[in-house]
Structure 1
Amino acid sequence: MLKHVKSLSGHQNPVYALANSGKEGIFFTGGNDKGVVEWSLEKMSFLKVLMPVKSSVYSLHYYGDQLFAGQRSGEVTVFDFTTQTVKTTFQAHEKPVFDIVVIPSKEEFLTASEDGTVGVWSLIDNLLLYRIPVSYDTVRAIAISPDGEHAAFGCKDGMIRIYNLTDYSLEHTLEQHTLPVTSVQYSPDGKYLISGGRDAQLNFWSLPTYEFKHNIPAHLFSVYGIAFNPVLPYFATASQDKSIKLWGADDLRLYKILSIEKNTHGHTHSINKLVWTPDGKYLITTGDDKLVMIWSWE
């Protein structure tokens, strides 16, 4: 199961964003510090402030030697690792950018915002292709289906909206959460979609029909992150209730709770993001306590 390896300090303020890199053992964080930080898993330490930004960083996404940072200001900054410089900064939305996801097959990327829209951008020149009016309120989270054909948008109005990526048409509106949807994730085998919300619930939707199948009262407060292990049949969830939970991806059973209240190592405040390393060996978590925690698979 999961065991605490190290707690890394360096941030002076809450951390909202976390992303792996294309380089083994390197990952990035961002938050209220107005800078994106690069870390080393090998050294278990802070490496450097990769780049300054004008406002808090709410989302990070790495793809093709570029790191995309979505900010509270509505700006997106793109850092190019080939040239080791900021490639561009542009005003993607009028309000904060909560999530960024790349669609490699289309050479496009999506930005989700508090303004209720999703921006569709060209990966080649970062120009706006479409703006989809998804909700009257915040679009908080994006997930792309494993076959690359659909996008799930988790919204503040409690809905999950499923769009066809061929023509960006709305195909399904999923209603089950009683409060805002804060996280969405497709299972790697493409069998189901999981959604987590401020109602502390995990809901499971079977594919390809998106029929509601199962519900777990998973946490005490908002579910801020869902991450599938890339190698093993497990997924982890992180919550505002300061706990990390490990679940079986096939049987949906709870296998482990990592929380100070359960007398394990844990965060002292809300956990805002979690990612597995690409080899599935480590889980990285971060949140309002300004710490980055590394957990290893035992």
Structure 2
Amino acid sequence: MEIKRIAALSGHQNPIYTIESSPETGYFYTAGNDKGVVQWSFDDPGHVKVLMPVKTSVYSLLISPDHLWLAAGERSGQVSLYSFEENKVIAVLNNHRLPVFALSFVHRKNELLAASEDGTVSVINLNTTELIYRFKISDDTIRCMAISPDESMVAFGCKDNTIRIFNVTDYSLLKELHLHTMPVTSLAFSPDGELLLSGGRDAKLNVWGVKDFELKDSITAHMFAIYDIKFNPSGTYFATASQDKSIKIWSADSFRLLKIISREKGIEAHSHSVNKLNWNTKDGSLISVSDDRMIMRWEIK
């Protein structure tokens, strides 16, 4: 496997916490401890603009599958919906008073899920932008969320070291997984829906079988917390991002480590914690954002 850094973009003045992309429209979006969501061009790295201002730090971004809107979850608990057609914020949702760390979309129900530090999840009807339902997941922070490819279940990673699996149809609890020894900080279902991967502050990468939720593998993947897990568009491998300043590429079949992207390996990589990853579905490049205020784009062959 060959790794090449094809872009290093600056512009943020503070740590970057999240990234979302829309390759179909040619843009991707980043946000963090600055007071705005920033738009970048895939084709013209010099094209940068502030898409919308925000009042507090942004911890989560989500673009709708039809690329019509972008949601931003803030430290204040507010979620803003920005319309690309109208070029403005069309709704501000105030269902939480503590930070919103994760956002997901249920296509078959046209619902937006927002998970908060308050331990609850709000379910929003996107036809009306009204709150449908709010349910409790944990007595502590919900750090991350992942929806299965068939949208039958949603997994939540919590600060109390637990993964909780819920039925998307009625949001009833299906299963609790307890093998992480520290907060769960990242989750990802495999593209075929057969596996759930979880990463924690304990630096463990756990692999669960979705059919029975039995642990299939447990790997000490990093030195510190694993902040993100993302499968590449073809599902042949996946990447993990860590507080230890590295990105690691793994085989999706054998879970064998294929490549380490870090300064320790002689690569011009991030100098601080790597917080989020995003794959460009058109060309397969990987984008990473970090506390070092940099956005890096990687070509992987």
Shift, 1:22, TM fit: 5.7
Taking the aligned partners of 2:119 and 2:43, their CA distance within structure 1 comes to 40
Q: Give how far 1:46 is off.
A: 4.2
Q: How far did residue 24 of structure 1 move? A: 4.0
Matches of 2:139 and 2:60, distance apart in 1:
21
Q: Is 1:95 aligned with 2:105?
A: no
Residues 41-81 of structure 1: CA distance to partner in whole angstroms, max 9, x if unpaired? 11123420000011001100000310000000000011000
Corresponding residue number in structure 1 for 2:221: 218
User: Given that residues 191 and 235 in structure 2 are in contact (C-alpha distance below 8 angstroms), is that contact kept between their aligned partners in structure 1?
Assistant: no
Q: In the alignment, what sits opposite 1:269?
A: 272
User: Does 2:150 match 1:158?
Assistant: no
What's the CA shift string for 1:143-177, capped at 9, x where partnerless? Answer: 00011100000000000000001110000000110
In 1, the alpha carbon distance for the partners of 2:253 and 2:268 equals 27
- Letter of the 1:76 partner, please give it: V
CA drift at 1:280: 5.0
Report the Cα distance in structure 2 between the residues aligned to 1:118 and 1:232, rounded to whole angstroms.
Answer: 28
1:82 aligns with 2:85: yes
Identity of aligned residues (%): 51
Partner Cα distance (1:88, 1:234) in 2: 37
Aligned to 2:198, the other structure's residue is in SS state strand
For structure 2, list consecutive stretches of 5 or more residues without a partner in the other structure: none
Aligned match of 1:281 in 266, 272, 284?
Answer: 284
Q: Give, in whole Å, the separation in 2 of the partners of 1:94 and 1:58.
A: 14
Contact 1:8 1:46 in 2 (8 A): no
Aligned partner of 1:18 in structure 2 is: 19
Structure 1 equivalent of residue 171 of structure 2:
168
Match for residue 247 of structure 1? 250
Q: Report the aligned-residue RMSD.
A: 1.0
Tell me the TM-score normalized by structure 1. Answer: 0.98
| 2:206 pairs with one of 203, 207, 222 | 203
Q: 1:132 aligns with which of 130, 135, 138?
A: 135
User: Is contact 1:184–1:195 with CA below 8 Å preserved after alignment?
Assistant: yes
Give distance in 1, aligned partners of 2:49 and 2:130: 30
2:144 partner letter: A
Q: Secondary structure at the match of 1:168?
A: coil
1:28 matched to which residue of 2?
A: 29
1:37 match: 38
Higher mean C-alpha displacement, 204-213 vs 30-39: 204-213
How far apart, in 2, do the equivalents of 1:252 and 1:217 lie? 12
Segments of 5+ residues of structure 1 without an aligned counterpart are none
CA distance in 1, matches of 2:46, 2:214: 44
Q: How many residues align?
A: 298
Mean Cα deviation higher: 18-27 or 284-293: 18-27
Task: Give the stretch that moved more between structures: 120-129 or 30-39.
Answer: 120-129
1:50 aligns with 2:51: yes
| Larger deviation, residues 247-256 vs 15-24 | 15-24
> For residues 55 and 277 of structure 1, what CA distance do their matches in structure 2 show?
28
State the TM-score, normalizing by the size of structure 2: 0.97
Counterpart-to-counterpart distance in 2, 1:208 and 1:124: 33
The whole-number CA distance in structure 2 between the counterparts of 1:212 and 1:49 is 43
Following TM superposition, by how much is the alpha carbon of 1:219 offset from its aligned partner in structure 2, in angstroms? 0.3
**In the alignment, structure 1 residue 143 sits paired with structure 2 residue 146:** yes
1:232 CA displacement: 4.7
User: How far apart, in 1, do the equivalents of 2:166 and 2:200 lie?
Assistant: 20
CA contact (8 A) 1:231 1:279 kept: no
